[in-house]
Amino acid sequence: MSYSAVAACGAPRCLLHPRVTCMPQPYIFRTVELDHQSIRTAVRPGKPHLTPLLIFNGIGANLELVFPFIDALDPDLEVIAFDVPGVGGSSTPRHPYRFPGLAKLTARMLDYLDYGQVNVIGVSWGGALAQQFAHDYPERCKKLVLAATAAGAVMVPGKPKVLWMMASPRRYVQPSHVIRIAPMIYGGGFRRDPDLAMHHAAKVRSGGKLGYYWQLFAGLGWTSIHWLHKIQQPTLVLAGDDDPLIPLINMRLLAWRIPNAQLHIIDDGHLFLITRAEAVAPIIMKFLQEERQRAVMHPRPASGG
């Protein structure tokens, strides 16, 4: 396993002199070898009083793309991000994979990094993987956050033109392409601010076309609709009201099918976790820090005598 520490701004950090950076809490990058796979991970260290947060990213998205969201969270919260096989800095497998296999690989990665129970957030494609992980490893997942995602094959799809654009890895292989199509596929702030697409494209690190196609295959025909009712973790479902990829009705379905779920609608598009990070982070932190309240049985008042 190899590792390094890098500040959020990208400046290297000396492990012996941690203050020689522009950020007090750098990301610690590790490459983990599992089943002949090199998995690139990044951890932002936190404090032990908060359960660590594991992030499942969207299709084709390298872990750097969620740094703006992580930076908006409570600095005491430890956060784990990683590149799934075939994405970013992780190696591309020779054979395709499915979500149950990825959930198992994630559990092994957490073992390797010495994490027990974590809170989980899944974004878009990563939301499907988060559902699978919460279902298959309930003892490892304390709370679940699902952002801009759906139940898989059983869903109300976005517009065909938008889905066709998403089926191609071109926006990750050719960053200039995402600048052109971002308003159509992401909606929300990307419709109003051209700079958002440029900042987004600048952080893209392509893992290659094959890795993208393996991710598409992982979700082919997959659905959670028949076991969503078995997810017992407290769940926060976050939805954008201008999401061309995954219409709002899909998040309403998730919140309805998962027993202990609540829905929060954000005034933005598909990537609200990034474009509205400062507004969304407090909502997520409040949810993660809430404790279940037990019903209190009050004794009957003593009758006067």
Residues assigned a catalytic role = 124
Residues 6 or more apart whose Cβ sits within 8 Å of residue 19: none
Q: Could you tell me the maximum CA-CA distance found in the chain, to the nearest angstrom?
A: 84
CA-CA distances (angstroms) from residue 189 to 61, 78, 247?
19, 28, 16
As a whole number of angstroms, the distance between CA 3 and CA 88 comes to: 16
Give the torsion through C-alpha atoms of 279, 285, 287, 291, to 10 deg: -160
Residue 223 DSSP code: B
Q: DSSP H helical segments within the chain, as ranges?
A: 67-72, 99-112, 125-136, 160-166, 170-173, 175-186, 189-192, 194-202, 209-218, 248-257, 272-275, 277-289
